[in-house]
Amino acid sequence: MFRIRLRLCLAVLRVSSVRMAEACAVSWRLTRYIFFAGTFVFLVCGSTACREQRAGNSTSTGSSTKSIENKGSDTLVNLALAWAEQYMKEHPEMRISVTGGGSGTGIASLMNHTVDIANASREMKAEEIREAQAHGITPVEFIVARDAIAVVANLSNPVNALTIKQISDIYTGKISNWREVGGEDRPIVLLSRESNSGTYVYVLENVVRRGDPKSKLLFSPDTLLMPSSEGISTEVRQNPNAIGYDGLGYVTPDQKVLAVAEDVHSPYVLPSISTVNDRSYPISRPLYMYSAGEPGGHVKAYLDWILGPGQMLVSKLGFVPLH
């Protein structure tokens, strides 16, 4: 009897153990299912939320910030920077990048579709316009200010004035000593901007060649080509024999500005805002910005501002405002 009861008890225990094991197995499978399901949901939701957040940030940035790339003339670069800084203060949503490099560099960048506005201290050449049109661009010209090109020398130089012809003869090498124009017996050191500069082109065509389209005169091979207006200023300050030229906005008090006359029968005139406006100073020119086709949107708004309220900054930078 005791043995029968013992067998029954063992049988009951085996059945209970099996059921408990089966229950534990079911419970473990259920726990694993819940864990992996929860992890999957978290990863999917988290990934979706991240994508939505990035998309939201991108849309917000794109819709709130507008940019303008502006490049070219070294003569214009300081004025263009002043315009950009003031405009961004008044329009915090704008980002305007301004770089120099010369008028030719800015025009080439416009042709290559890498800038919105090209700065130039000369008009675009006919061949540049044709090349731009070949790239699908019709340049639109804006005169944004006026400038005088100052002829500068060292403060110790006793020469105070030159005619256009004398300046031409100096830069072509026909006159090579300051004694020939009333100065001391010293060789003349010629300073010029590099050939990609609009100022270089303007001086070549209107001073060296004296406005004669048939002239083939060139700068003397002894001319030192300087990469920037600041380079000319530095050399003029340090070298008592130097002569250079620069935009009026870059002339500093530690340089001598020479008066210039059309010829020996004309008055010698110093460059200034008033002498540019009354056209008595003979070496003056417009300054330009070019857009790729008729500007629209924020580029048009910026150019309209430059031609309007932005003119208030022009004289502060040493240039001549349009109005």
Note whether 289 and 314 are within 8 A (CB): no
Q: What is the pLDDT of residue 21?
A: 39
Tell me: the pLDDT tens digits for 152-190? 999 999 999 999 999 999 999 999 999 999 999 999 999
3-state secondary structure of 131: helix
Q: Where in the chain is the domain with CATH 3.40.190.10?
A: 65-146+288-317, 147-284
Strands (DSSP E) found in 138-227: 139-153, 161-163, 189-193, 224-226
Q: What pLDDT band is residue 65 in, cutting at 50, 70 and 90?
A: confident
Once rounded to an integer, what is the mean pLDDT over residues 103-113? Answer: 96
What value does the mean pLDDT take over residues 118-126?
Answer: 96
* 5-19, 55-69, 148-162: range with lowest mean pLDDT: 5-19
Q: What is the percent of the chain with per-residue pLDDT over 90, rounded to a whole number?
A: 76
Top pLDDT among 18 and 275 is at 275
Q: Tell me, what's the pLDDT at 323?
A: 82
Task: Note the CATH number of domain 65-146+288-317.
Answer: 3.40.190.10
Which tokens belong to 162?
A: 């030159």
Residue 135: pLDDT above 70? yes
Per-residue pLDDT tens over the stretch 71-103: 999 999 999 999 999 999 999 999 999 999 999
The mean pLDDT value of the chain amounts to 84
Task: Tell me the pLDDT band of 109, cut-offs 50, 70 and 90.
Answer: very high
Q: What pLDDT score does 245 carry?
A: 97
Q: Report the pLDDT value the prediction gives residue 64, as an integer from 0 to 100.
A: 76
* Helix orientation angle between 103-111 and 126-134, rounded to the nearest 10 degrees: 20
DSSP letters spanning 256-289 = EEEEEESSTTS--B---HHHHHTT-SSSEEEEEE
Mean pLDDT on 287-312: 97
Give the distance from CA 74 to its chain's centroid.
Answer: 9
Residue 63's pLDDT is what? 52
CB-based contact 113:293 (threshold 8 Å): no
The reported pLDDT for the residue numbered 160 is 98
Instruction: Determine contact, residues 260/228, Cβ cutoff 8 Å.
Output: no
| Rounded CA separation 227/197 (Å) | 9
Give the pLDDT confidence of 182-220 residue by residue, as tens digits: 999 999 999 999 999 999 999 999 999 999 999 999 999
Does residue 56 carry a pLDDT above 70?
no
The answer, yes or no, to whether residue 55 has pLDDT greater than 90, is: no
pTM of the model: 0.74
pLDDT of residue 43: 33
The answer to whether the beta carbons of residues 140 and 294 sit under 8 Å apart is yes
The CATH homologous superfamily of the domain defined by 147-284 = Periplasmic binding protein-like II (3.40.190.10)
